[in-house]
Structure 1
Amino acid sequence: MSLLKLASLTCIALALGACQSAFQPKPLAFTPDASEQVKAGCKGDDCPLVNIETVHFAADPKLDALIEQRLLKMTVNSPDDKLAPSLNAYREQFLRTADTRNSMYLQAKVREQHDDLVIIELISYLDTGGAHGMPGRGFINWSRKDHKEVTLQDMLLPGQERAFWGAAKVAHNNWLINSHRSNDAEFVKTWPFQQTPNVALLKDSVLLKYDVYSIAPYSDGNVELSIPYSRLNGIIKPEWLPGRG
């Protein structure tokens, strides 16, 4: 190969690389916001408190508002609970009525950013002074292009919901094997596979996260199941496959 031809091919390769990099969106900038407040006038280790860690997206107010709304929904723990109008209002309400050793932790964090998506993980932990607190989990799959949340129905091709949960069942079987529970008939009977609303379109796989007491005892925490994208061909819409958007 002549030096001239080699130089030409090098230029083409560099140009293609420049084009590809141009189509890679920069991560959406965000600002962390963390605060912890103890009940007024209380001193000591058992004082009620509210700890909130969230993120703000100045360039996308709709995502900002959705994060706050979803965190607020995680504070509703009984049919009698009313949704507070804001996180600040919830903090004041909780501290005003909380008993000793009661606390609430709320967190929204950026789990991943890839392709068109921002994946937000939502975390809550309510401690009412018992043996252990109650954790909650959730996800937001946010499309930057469409400025909206991508739901499971948005992700799937028409008529493929059953196939999706079939792939999730395979992931659950793999989890049983890896956790050495597959031969424990009592465990399998007591903690059968279930669907979950917590689905995240990560870069390497689709992640399912389960609330405690759903498919395993409290001691297992929030179980995660991963479905490789290779198992979801013909199930998930092509635009949501990493690198295909």
Structure 2
Amino acid sequence: MTLAKLTAVAFLALALGACQSLFKPNMRTPLEVKREAWEHIKPGCSNADCPLVNIDVVHFPALPKLDAIVERRLLAMTRDGEGAPLPASLKSYEDSFLREADSRHSSYLQAKVREQHDGLVIIELSSYLDTGGAHGMPGRGFINYSRQQDKVLTLQDMLVPGQEATFWKTAEEAHKGWLVSTGMDKDPDFVKTWPFQKTPHIALTYGAVVLKYEVYAIAPYAMGHIELKIPYPRLNGVIRPELFPGRG
């Protein structure tokens, strides 16, 4: 092959590579996020204690699949039990709640982007339901969406195979550190009453792996949603290496 032909082939390869990089999504560029929020009261109600529904969600114009995932997860937070059917949509949930709600009842649902990094979109979900008790019940959750894999990551997706026991042992050590930092380790009754528990709410944030707990899980209601943070270096060989910030 002549030098001219070799030059032409090399130029074509560079051009094709440039085209591929041009059309391939840049995972370091965050997805565009649009917020939609509204609050409605029970139709026909005009007093100060009208039942209300407040919904605050995010949309991803370039990834409508993620919109549907967020809505479904929020709707799951409205169910009374695991077997209860999901409402068809946020609007249908709102209509049903307001139709049946008594005075001073309220429901809040929120989804917000907590972070975007390394092709991951970390969404935090919040709920609060007040049906007239001593206090309302809040709920929390996370979505870890991988743009590279085009799916929501489960704990098994995050872990090196065979490392789940090590992960929870490390989480328990983080819990002991939390007890010390709050001074609760000096209260034997607290330690006995509120032992370490696993949680399904795990987020691969940039600074650390975050474990969030529902109220009453590892502490009294008044202490809110406890967060335990595990630095990534403590999870070497436990979390899949490509999920460490900066490695993806």
TM-score (normalizing by structure 1)? 0.89
Corresponding residue for residue 55 of structure 1: 58
**2:211 equivalent in structure 1:** 208
Which of 153, 165, 177 in structure 2 is aligned with 1:162? 165
Among 177, 181, 196, the alignment partner of 1:178 is 181
- Which amino acid counterpart does residue 172 of structure 1 have in structure 2? H
Amino acid at match of 2:96: Q
Assess, with a 3 A threshold, how the Cα gap between structure 1 residues 56 and 164 changes in structure 2: closer, same or farther. Answer: same
Residue 138 (structure 1) aligned to one of 120, 136, 141: 141
Q: Give the distance between the partners of 1:97 and 1:170, measured in 2 at CA.
A: 45
CA drift at 1:45: 2.2
Q: CA deviation at 1:131?
A: 1.6
2: CA distance, partners of 1:146 / 1:168: 26
Partner of 1:153: 156
Secondary structure class of the residue paired with 1:182? helix
Q: Which amino acid aligns with 1:153?
A: Q
Partner residue of 2:108? Answer: 105
1:118 aligns with 2:142: no
Report what 1:75 is aligned to: 78
Native 8 Å contact 1:181 1:188 kept in 2? yes
CA distances 1:126-155 after superposition (whole Å, capped 9, x unpaired): 011222100000000001122110111000
Name the structure 1 match of 2:226: 223
Structure 1 residue runs of 4 or more that deviate by more than 4 Å after TM superposition: none
The aligned counterpart of 1:44 is 47
* RMSD, aligned CA: 1.3
Q: Secondary structure at the match of 2:102?
A: coil
Q: AA paired with 2:59?
A: H
**TM-score scaled by length of structure 2:** 0.88
Distance between the aligned counterparts of 2:117 and 2:82, measured in 1? Answer: 37
Query: How far did residue 82 of structure 1 move?
Result: 2.9
Please state how far the C-alpha of 1:49 moved relative to its aligned partner: 0.4
Match of 2:29 among 26, 29, 32: 26
> Given that residues 27 and 147 in structure 2 are in contact (C-alpha distance below 8 angstroms), is that contact kept between their aligned partners in structure 1?
no
Which amino acid in structure 1 is aligned with residue 171 of structure 2?
A
Question: Conserved in 2, the CA contact under 8 Å of 1:126 and 1:135?
Answer: yes
Q: Structure 1, unaligned stretches of length 5 or more?
A: 1-21
Alpha carbons of 1:239 and 1:102: their partners in 2 closer, same or farther (altered >3 Å)? same
Q: Work out the number of aligned pairs and report it.
A: 224
Q: Deviations over 1:46-75 (max 9, x none)?
A: 110000000001111111100000000000
